[in-house]
Amino acid sequence: MSTRSPHAKVAGSRHRDAPFLPERERYLRSCADAGATTGALKIKRNELIWIARLLPATASEGVDIGRLNELVRQRTSIHTGVTMGERMIVAARPWLRFLGWWREPVSALPFQGYLDGYIKWMRDERGLSPSTIKQWQGRIRLFLQWCEETDRDLKLLQPSDIDAYFIQNAARWGRISMKVVTGALRVYLKYAATQGLCDSRLAIALRSPRVYAQESLPSAPAWSDVRRILALTETDKPADIRGRAILMLLSIYGMRRGEVVALRLDQVDWTGRKLHMLRFKRRQPQVYPLLPVVAEALARYIDTVRPCTSAPEIFLGLHAPQLPLSPSAVFSLVNNKFKTLEITVKHRGPHALRHACAARMVAQGLSLKEIGDHLGHRSAFATMTYAKVDMRALREVGEFDLGELP
């Protein structure tokens, strides 16, 4: 005898009788495998029933945002609700993407073809890393958007136009930022010239501002502030348990945020108490002792919070689809802690904790070679900047008595 309630039977019948049943069931199984809760699956199922009823039989040929908005209008004309339209869009887009039926809005940027060609060149011809491509792509996109907004044709650009771009952004760019943008533009304009997109003399005309090596101090919070940041995560909340492990890797091992999100389960040697890490800049593996406090934080996260999935990465999202964390998610984690505690430093992201790690090692008397090895620097020159935060050594220089010299 069935123990299902009449309501459950009706809901099951609605699900089976609605169009696109195989497509909906495939998607719901995928969501369940990704860690979606029973409650979340129920909400998705009910929304998809409505969406499936409103979709045309030709939906497999593609659905764009205009068509989806029309479905929302049809739905809200039958049932009103403040969040009904938003709920429908939130449910529909992932499903349609999963099926390959969603048609992303075409970028309105007239120079998109230029940008796409440049991205392909960076990837296929230069062999640049995805992170470098993403960074340079963003710089060039902003420049091309500015060209569009100011009605400038790339083929007709003059050095004075490039000057105007820098003048417009001068208030928010420092010299280092200007140097980075200049370098990115120079490479792009050289590429564009080879494609006949602009004058070959533009890249030659670009001049970078002078930036002196080691001219600035690294921006780092005091170690006491790092302790305060870690203290914020001493709770039983899943986000804090995960955050504590991440913050320890950043501040104790001086890891870069990209290295944190790339860390895999098989890189932690629990028996040998070792942490195997791939340093991005060196492109070489390094082995570190797994400190007890870090081992405890990692174990607690993995055992009690981390979703049980086949993903090799250690740090995953807390909610479905529980994908590996992005570098921007790590930045948000750290930045929010700085804001909560109102810690005033120039930069309030993961790299500030890396600088704090280095500054603490300097204060403890470690050599620059030891610090550079710990941070995964490619050269000793990269570590030189931390010599300037060793106040004890600076005082020794200041107290040196020249009177004893002949």
Q: What's the pLDDT band for 395 if we cut at 50, 70, 90?
A: very low
Instruction: For residues 302 and 244, give the distance between their C-alpha atoms in angstroms, rounded to a whole number.
Output: 12
**269 SS3 class:** strand
| pLDDT score for 404 | 41
Is pLDDT of 300 > 80? yes
Tell which wins on pLDDT, 6 or 316: 316
| pLDDT score for 249 | 92
Is pLDDT of 283 > 80? no
Is pLDDT of 110 > 80? no
Q: Would 112-205 and 223-395 be classified into the same CATH topology? A: no
DSSP string, 308-325: --S--BS-B-SSTT-PBP
Q: What's the pLDDT band for 40 if we cut at 50, 70, 90?
A: confident
At what angle are helices 350-363 and 238-252 packed, to 10 degrees?
50
Is pLDDT of 10 > 50? no
Instruction: Give the class (CATH, top level) of 223-395.
Output: mainly alpha
Q: What's the pLDDT band for 88 if we cut at 50, 70, 90?
A: confident
Location of structure tokens 């940041």: 229
Q: Count the helices and strands in the chain (H runs, E runs).
A: 18, 3
Mean pLDDT of 42-53: 90
Is pLDDT of 69 > 80? yes
Q: What's the pLDDT band for 81 if we cut at 50, 70, 90?
A: low
| pLDDT score for 229 | 92
Helices (H), 150-264: 159-169, 175-194, 201-205, 223-231, 238-252, 257-262
First to last CA, the chain: 107
Please write the tens of the pLDDT for every residue from 330-354.
999 999 999 999 888 777 788 888 8
CATH code of the domain occupying 6-99:
1.10.150
Please write the tens of the pLDDT for every residue from 175-218.
777 888 888 999 999 999 999 988 988 888 888 766 555 445 55
Instruction: For residues 371 and 358, give the distance between their C-alpha atoms in angstroms, rounded to a whole number.
Output: 7
Q: Does domain 112-205 have CATH number 1.20.950.20?
A: no
Q: What's the pLDDT band for 377 if we cut at 50, 70, 90?
A: low
Instruction: For residues 330 and 149, give the distance between their C-alpha atoms in angstroms, rounded to a whole number.
Output: 33
Is pLDDT of 399 > 50? no
Portion of the chain with pLDDT greater than 90, in percent: 27
Instruction: For residues 181 and 187, give the distance between their C-alpha atoms in angstroms, rounded to a whole number.
Output: 10
Q: Residue 316: beta bridge partners?
A: 324
Instruction: For residues 357 and 334, give the distance between their C-alpha atoms in angstroms, rounded to a whole number.
Output: 14
Q: What's the pLDDT band for 245 if we cut at 50, 70, 90?
A: very high
| pLDDT score for 108 | 53
At what angle are helices 130-149 and 159-169 packed, to 10 degrees?
100
**CB neighbour class for 15 (10 Å; exposed up to 12, middle 13-18, buried from 19):** middle
| Closest residue by Cα to residue 300 from 355, 235, 218, 365 | 235
Residue spans of the domains in the chain: they are 6-99, 112-205, 223-395
Instruction: For residues 76 and 117, give the distance between their C-alpha atoms in angstroms, rounded to a whole number.
Output: 42
| pLDDT score for 35 | 75
Instruction: For residues 168 and 54, give the distance between their C-alpha atoms in angstroms, rounded to a whole number.
Output: 49
Mean pLDDT of the chain: 81
Mean pLDDT of 119-127: 88
